[in-house]
Amino acid sequence: MNPRLLLVVFCPFAAGFYLSYFFRNVNAVISRDLARDFSLSSADLGFLTATYLLAFAAFQLPLGVLLDRYGPRRVLAALLCIAATGALVFALAQDFVMLSVGRALIGLGVSGCLMGAIKAFTLWFPLSRLATLNGLYLAVGGLGGLSATAPAEAFLGPFGWRALFYVLATASVSVAALIFLLVPEKPLPGHGQTLRAQIAGFGRIFSSVPFWRIALPLVVCHAVYQALQGLWLAPWLYDIAGYQRPAVATALLTTAIAYTAGSVFFGVSSDRLAGAGVSRMTTYKIGLVTSLAMFALLAAGVTAGLPAILAVYAFTAISVSLAYALLTPIFPPEMTGRVITASNVMMFGTSFLFQWGIGAVLRLYPEVDSRYAAGAYATAFWSLAALQAAAVLWLLPMRLKQ
């Protein structure tokens, strides 16, 4: 791959994606601070954290049209300025409503960080390298998620969560400027297509059975991972595994590292295995089945060997990213933005429902010694395991050469 293109295309977008993942996961570390400062219940905390996902999901379909119509450079630079505004509102918040507005603006502002980059990669790089680029790119996001664990915890001690969000607001504006000034423009496939024709393209996507079979495991399985890593894994570690705050931060750091490593592994290995005759679809299925098995252990409340279970779960959960490489060749190049955002609108909408829903289920059970009940976690987690199993079972008989 061209080193110059990696520098001026890959790196600026990667900086935005790093921030996106930091924003997505940081509430897991500051959740107890927010609950204390604003007297939030579990349902309030779940809703607050999930407003990021709701705003993110709500903008995905318009985002697909904007990316295909105006290109990723201008769209991403504008959106990251909105993320900066959201971080500032969050830092200044005095009540639950202001917190939620700030969190929603952040979700809207970073909603294009992955999809915009994939669109840019299809413009500047060969499709045969798309899974590798996506994997490396997701690894950068994983580093952002990693930074939102123990490193963020270390920052909170002397400075507090409000100072952290002032820093994030500044970083978001800086990355927006970097993308706008450094990323080059390139003519877009399908240039000149009417807005009505672009919107009608979603009908072709959503009426495609192969699209649904490939996308549903991405939607359901990654939504579960995001609900856990973004918020509910930390309370589960406190309440079920009996971890204390430093151990919880370390466990979240471990899963973030494993997720990052899995991003690189599944991206690079799937392209290499495809060259050797093992389809990306096969690699996709293996990752999904393994991550589901690990999640089932968590649902069962297994704590023996927990660090290994969490590491394998996070490592294989990111195998869902192969769905983007599998979906892209099925549709024409001018539809890339809409294809990937069509899957993402469902994934982030589902993430919102799962993150909020877990909190709602926990609230149905009486707390024991200020801990959420083990039965509540079991009910929520086994329900999510059943949904994942249904999506994976529908995919397993499917065959693709790519």
Please report how many Cα atoms fall inside a 13 Å half-sphere around the Cα of residue 235, on the Cβ side.
28
65 within domain boundaries: yes
Tokens standing for residue 281: 């679809």
346 within domain boundaries: yes
Residue-number span of the structural domain to which 63 is assigned? 3-395
- The answer to whether residues 73 and 185 touch, using CB atoms and an 8 Å cutoff, is yes
27 within domain boundaries: yes
Q: How many CB atoms lie within 10 A of CB 300?
A: 12
82 within domain boundaries: yes
User: For each of the chain's 402 residues, which pLDDT tens digit applies?
Assistant: 677 888 888 899 999 999 998 998 888 788 888 888 888 887 788 788 778 878 888 888 888 888 888 889 999 999 999 999 999 999 999 999 999 999 999 999 999 998 888 888 888 887 677 778 878 888 888 788 878 877 888 888 888 889 999 999 999 999 999 999 999 887 776 555 677 777 787 888 888 999 999 999 999 999 999 889 878 898 999 999 999 878 888 888 888 889 888 988 988 888 888 888 888 899 999 999 999 999 999 999 999 999 999 999 999 999 998 998 898 888 887 777 788 788 888 887 888 789 889 988 998 998 877 788 999 999 999 999 999 999 999 999 988 765
19 within domain boundaries: yes
φ/ψ of 241, rounded to 5, equals -85, -15
- The answer to whether residues 175 and 5 touch, using CB atoms and an 8 Å cutoff, is no
What's the pTM? 0.74
229 within domain boundaries: yes
316 within domain boundaries: yes
Read off the CATH number of the domain in which 219 is found.
Answer: 1.20.1250.20
- Non-local (6+) Cβ contacts of 251 within 8 A are 233, 237, 243, 306, 307, 310
CA-wise closest residue to 341 among 111, 83, 71, 10 = 111
> What is the domain count for the chain?
1
401 within domain boundaries: no
